[in-house]
Amino acid sequence: MEEKETVFVVSDSVGETADLVVKAVATQFNGGFVELRKNAFVENYEDIEDILLMAKQVPSLIAYTIVIPKLKSYLDRRAKEENLAAIDLLSPLMDAFSRTFNKSPKYQPKLMRQLDESYFRKIEAIEFAVKYDDGRDPRGLLHADIVLVGVSRTSKTPLSMYLAHKRYKVANVPLVPEVAPPDELYQISRNKCVGLIISPDKLNSIRKERLKNLGLTSQANYASFERILEELDYADKIMRRLGCPVINVSDKAIEETADYILNTLKK
């Protein structure tokens, strides 16, 4: 049985970069003819020797992304001694960067996989938005970057999640005439509270569609004009008491409203 041509994909990290480059090249040669053997987290000379031993058994070449200088030099030397082709996928571009921009690389593996502070802030903000959604725990209002208030179906939750992806901790509180707002809402700065309002016609349409999706009759009190006007009037009184900026979300996309909120709060 004829041995299949093999490319040993070698990396001192996950190996995604080398894997993608090799696959891109292989497609130019009807890629299915070649077998890829991925070797990730290669961190010592013994790992390299194991790869060389396997590579000698089949028609092969080695494609690698190794940035640790000693490890790279060792692989280059030993591959040459074993008469094996070892292709460095990173150094030509890194050398070009150094020459052109007069900067030195860090020569540190796994940098692309390091989770930076910004990533952790986003995850924390998303978890915060979930935990303090829909007035679930009013204690979160005191720790939020932004607090959204409004009647049901004014996009409070989607806005909270969208802003969380921008690394803002957002809590939201539904305003319902039968339920007094939590005391914490009056303890926060009005500079981080935003009221969301909507036209009665738009809210009526949204609520009817919501009831329809739930399999309920559109004649329910939730979607009645009388009830909607009562809720909007109540919300207006609360927002006036808070002294917070108010945004009409009737004809705005989530992204547009979010940008408006951030610009308003910055002012």
pLDDT tens, position by position, for the chain (267 residues)?
A: 456 899 999 998 888 888 999 999 998 887 678 899 999 999 899 999 999 999 999 999 999 999 999 999 999 999 999 999 999 999 999 999 999 999 998 888 776 665 567 788 899 999 999 999 999 999 999 999 999 999 999 999 999 999 999 999 999 999 999 999 999 999 999 899 999 999 999 999 999 988 888 888 767 889 899 999 999 999 999 999 999 999 999 999 999 999 999 998 887
Tell me if 156 is assigned to a ligand binding site: yes
Q: What does the domain layout of the chain look like in residue ranges?
A: 6-113, 117-266
The two three-digit tokens of residue 198, written as one number: 């909507």
Tell me if 154 is assigned to a ligand binding site: yes
Tell me if 152 is assigned to a ligand binding site: yes
Tell me if 150 is assigned to a ligand binding site: yes
Tell me if 212 is assigned to a ligand binding site: no
Tell me if 205 is assigned to a ligand binding site: no
CATH architecture of 117-266: 3-Layer(aba) Sandwich (3.40)
Tell me if 6 is assigned to a ligand binding site: no
pTM above 0.85, yes or no: no
